[in-house]
Amino acid sequence: MIYGNLKVRKLKDRLAYAIALLCVFAAAAPLISILLDVLVKGLPQFSMEFFTSELPSPGTGEPGGIGPAMIGSMYVIMIGSAIGIPIGIFSGIYVSEYGNNWFGRSVRFLTEVLSGLPSIVVGIFAFLLLVLGLGGPTAYAGGFALSIIMVPVVSRSTEESLKLVPNTIREASLALGVPRWKTTLKVVLSHGRAGIITGVILSIARIAGESAPLLLTVGWSPFVQTSLSEPISTMPVLIYLYGTSPYENWINVAWGTSAFLVIFILSLSIGVRLLTRGRFAYSRL
């Protein structure tokens, strides 16, 4: 028998398959159980009032809502995006289009390091710089911390999607006597648009759920805040504060907020998938 025992071989094959399948369940089970738990306990909280009204007083039994925290989260996400998206896109453009040198390579390396940075460290940095510097927690400080988390995500996805733009397209534009910067802006960017938008949306999904940097930077306010240089309430901080409180109505609000955040982030990710199906159709030409 040159080929060995066929029966034993088949058995080994089955065994390996079974182990792989088991591992898949082991990986998916916690995720599914978290999702179910959050949705089962959170969804019943949803009502018109939940999304619009003021935060509830503790222990009164009144249901209350998360209006101020939603608005506050929107503020910090918008500040973070306003800083993080342009910086990320332009640094991605630099690394992809002009970064074929030691500087570009170091920028790429730093971006990688930055994207692996624990978010609590980012929070401490913003805390030292802006909270201590400006004399207290503010929406600005939170937005700034989120932008630091956003930059590497946007930069990497911009770089990757521009690298997929075929060189022949750049040459076509250069050969028409179009300067390099115009070629980049008008041809290369419009070509990599889908990839960049995907990266931007995913980075928003990423910062929407960030909590550690916000805990250190935005403080807390139970009211709708109109000034960005004041402490504000945000959803992740709400979940932390209310979820660990002894009051039942607060804990319920924390569940509802968790469910809302999960649904929001999931729909961003799924939306991107649906929108950009076949997004690289161009590069197949």
Partner 1 sequence: METNELNAWFGSFQAIKNVSMKIRGNLTTAIIGPSGCGKSTLIRCLNRMHEVTPKARAKGRVLLDGEDIYSRDVDPVEIRRKVGMVFQKPNPFPTMSVFDNVAFGLRANGIRDEEFITKQVERSLRQAALWKEVEDNLDGCGAGISGGQQQRLCIARALAIEPEVVLMDEPCSALDPIATSKIEDLIFDLKERYTVIIVTHNMQQAARVADYTAFMYLGELIEYSKTKRIFENPEEELTEKYITGRFG
List of residues contacting partner 1 (CB under 8 A):
100, 166, 168-179, 182-183, 186-187, 190-191, 193, 282, 285
> What are 184's two structure tokens?
């980049």
Helix boundaries (H) for the chain: 6-42, 48-52, 67-93, 102-115, 119-126, 132-134, 139-163, 167-174, 180-182, 189-191, 193-208, 212-217, 235-243, 248-275
Q: Closest CB to partner 1 among 122 and 187?
A: 187
CB of 152 within 8 A of CB of 112?
yes
What's the min distance (Å) between Cβ of 178 and partner 1? 4
Range 99-108 burial, b when 16+ CB lie within 10 A, else e: beeeebeebb
Angle between the N-to-C axes of helices 139-163 and 102-115, in degrees from 0 to 180, rounded to the nearest 10: 130
Helix boundaries (H) for 94-138: 102-115, 119-126, 132-134
Give the residue from 207, 220, 195 showing the smallest Cα distance to 275.
195
Q: Closest CB to partner 1 among 174 and 262?
A: 174
What's the min distance (Å) between Cβ of 276 and partner 1? 15
> What are 116's two structure tokens?
């692996």
Q: Closest CB to partner 1 among 183 and 233?
A: 183
What's the min distance (Å) between Cβ of 37 and partner 1? 45
Q: Closest CB to partner 1 among 2 and 285?
A: 285
What's the min distance (Å) between Cβ of 188 and partner 1? 10
Distance (Å, whole) CA 145 – CA 148: 5
Q: Closest CB to partner 1 among 190 and 244?
A: 190
Range 41-78 burial, b when 16+ CB lie within 10 A, else e: bbeebeeeebeebebbeeeeeeebbbbbbbebbebbbe
What's the min distance (Å) between Cβ of 164 and partner 1? 12
What's the min distance (Å) between Cβ of 192 and partner 1? 10
Phi-psi region of 136 (alpha: psi -120 to 50; beta: other; left: phi over 0): left
What's the min distance (Å) between Cβ of 168 and partner 1? 4
Q: Closest CB to partner 1 among 9 and 186?
A: 186
Q: Closest CB to partner 1 among 141 and 194?
A: 194
> What are 238's two structure tokens?
């709400």
Q: Closest CB to partner 1 among 223 and 280?
A: 280
What's the min distance (Å) between Cβ of 166 and partner 1? 8
Amino acid at 108: R
